[in-house]
């Protein structure tokens, strides 16, 4: 395996967290939290640009991980959770409560998969499909968090 292929696999598995024995998606989301912390300090346009790059890169990264693991959506592929969490936190005020609530809501939407998240998960194939359901879960989380900020329930 070449260095490039190892790097793609390493990214797909959330820098190895996807290989942890239970709840790989949760561990992958924790990697997203760790990536979010320094990104949250950047100006919003830079945050959006970097998050967009991470999402676009995720399509071939997740596709390659699926090929290597022999499963179109193997639980050990967690780059999509990392990306989804970054979407969840777009323009959300940085605080411990927003991170904890964002983490919990994102995991809830990612696990339960309400419509249209479930539709994306079932109908869109390949790396795009792997990414889209988590991006949708992140968008749903982001909407909820911004609603809570607007209502004054989250600072």
Confidence tier at 17 by pLDDT (50, 70, 90): very high
Where along the chain do its domains lie? 3-151
Residues 13 and 71: their CA atoms lie apart, in Å, by 13
Confidence tier at 11 by pLDDT (50, 70, 90): very high
pLDDT at 116: 92
* 8 Å CB contact between 92 and 146: yes
pLDDT, mean over the chain = 94
In this structure, the number of other CB atoms found within 10 A of the CB of residue 49 comes to 12
pLDDT at 3: 78
Please write the tens of the pLDDT for every residue from 31-78. 999 999 999 999 999 999 999 999 999 999 999 999 998 887 788 999
Please write the tens of the pLDDT for every residue from 68-104. 988 877 889 999 999 999 999 999 999 999 999 999 9
Query: Among residues of the chain, what percentage have pLDDT more than 90?
Result: 76
pLDDT at 27: 96
Confidence tier at 1 by pLDDT (50, 70, 90): low
């Amino acid at each position: 395996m070449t260095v490039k292929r190892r790097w793609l696999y390493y990214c797909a598995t959330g820098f190895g967290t996807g290989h942890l024995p239970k709840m790989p998606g949760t561990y992958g989301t924790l990697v997203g939290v760790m990536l979010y912390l320094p990104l949250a300090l950047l100006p919003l346009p830079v945050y959006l640009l970097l998050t967009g790059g991470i999402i676009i890169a995720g399509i071939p990264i997740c596709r390659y991980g699926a090929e290597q693991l022999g499963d179109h959506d193997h639980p050990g592929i967690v780059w999509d959770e990392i990306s989804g969490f970054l979407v969840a936190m777009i323009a959300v005020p940085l605080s411990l409560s927003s991170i904890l609530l964002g983490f919990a809501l994102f995991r809830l939407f990612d696990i339960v998969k309400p419509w249209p998240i479930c539709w994306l998960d079932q109908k869109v194939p390949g790396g795009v499909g792997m990414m889209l359901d988590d991006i949708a879960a992140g968008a749903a989380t982001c909407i909820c968090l911004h609603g809570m900020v607007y209502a004054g329930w989250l600072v």
